[in-house]
Amino acid sequence: MIRGAAHLGGPTLVVENGDLNDHPEEQDRLKYQYQIQALNKIECAAFNLGEQDLSLGLPFLLQRADEADFPFLSANLADPEGAAPFASSVTVTREVEGVPRTVQIVGVIAESMDLFIQETGLVIGSAREAIQTTLSESADARIVLFHGDRQEARKAVRGLIGIDLVIATSHERDEPFESIEEGFPPIVGNGLKGKLLGRISIRFGADGPEVGAAAPETLTHLVPDSPDVVPILKEYYQEVKTRNLIDDVAIVNPAGGGSTSVARRAASATSGSTISGRRPSTPSVSRPSSRRAGRPIPSVSYAT
């Protein structure tokens, strides 16, 4: 579907807005490695870290960052020594109608998430200050990935000049629609658990970037799997079985038309914990949401 979005009138920009994992167990750590491979395959441009990612610990994340073809972002995160372990932003270039366009992607996490990562020693600073100091005046468009809900995102970006789009995260409900209010850039919510896919298109007009309306689409079994990602998924399931993390994993129709993956009967993980009937989750391939308007910049695909 990401490829399909690219055919609708412009290059595609894929971003991930954090929380690839649900738990810090062995199976989740294994899944995480395969998710990074999947994001590499779909040419993810940036990954903004969430509190569940950070709960895995800095050493683990730095290893995964080395394996990624895209930067891990967190502009307002500091390690115990006060240093920034990850990049604040990345600027990517896409050719739009023969003209190279630069898009800056800034990643921040809400200060409220500090409560969930205290054991890691990492510290979350002001998201607003981080955004202010990181925004580039030279970029053709600027996107903020905000790992936190839209209410917190509003506080962080209110009155700031130069932000063209904010992608926020909800942990409690589906929020696939944008919020356009006076004093704010467009703020897009998200769907939970990888259920939604949409398009956000941005056009470059005479007065700068113009962001169109979000077009969320529900992911069902009718949506075909990516032929590039299916082998990664199959390898992940095989590794889960080999390590006896969970047994009797059946993959139905993995080659297309929407695969169905089922894990039956809980098995004890090698760490000694028990995975209670939990299905090994599919490597996350983005829940893109795109918008339309004027001459498109990359369709923006995002995941949370």
Domain locations along the chain? 2-220+286-303
pLDDT confidence of 80, banded at 50, 70, 90? Answer: confident
Instruction: Choose from 1-15, 125-139, 207-221 the range with maximum mean pLDDT.
Output: 125-139
pLDDT confidence of 111, banded at 50, 70, 90? Answer: very high
Mean pLDDT for the stretch of residues 252-278 = 34
Beta strands in 114-233 (DSSP E): 123-124, 141-147, 165-167, 178-179, 187-188, 196-199, 202-205, 208-211, 215-218
DSSP-based three-state secondary structure for 289:
coil
Instruction: Choose from 55-64, 212-221, 253-262 the range with maximum mean pLDDT.
Output: 55-64
Q: Model's pTM, two decimal places?
A: 0.80
**DSSP classification of residue 65:** H
- Percentage above 70 pLDDT, the chain: 71
Enter the tokens of residue 232: 């990664």
pLDDT confidence of 216, banded at 50, 70, 90? Answer: confident
pLDDT confidence of 24, banded at 50, 70, 90? Answer: confident
Spatial separation of the C-alpha atoms in residues 134 and 75, rounded to whole Å: 8
Q: Give the other-Cβ count within 10 Å of 270's Cβ.
A: 11
**Summary mean pLDDT of the chain:** 78
pLDDT above 80: residue 148: yes
pLDDT above 60: residue 259: no
> Quick one: CATH architecture of 2-220+286-303?
4-Layer Sandwich (3.60)
Please list the helix, strand and coil fractions of the chain in percent, rounded to the nearest 5, in that order. 25, 30, 45
pLDDT above 80: residue 103: yes
pLDDT above 50: residue 114: yes
Mean pLDDT for the stretch of residues 205-210 = 85
pLDDT at residue number 286: 37
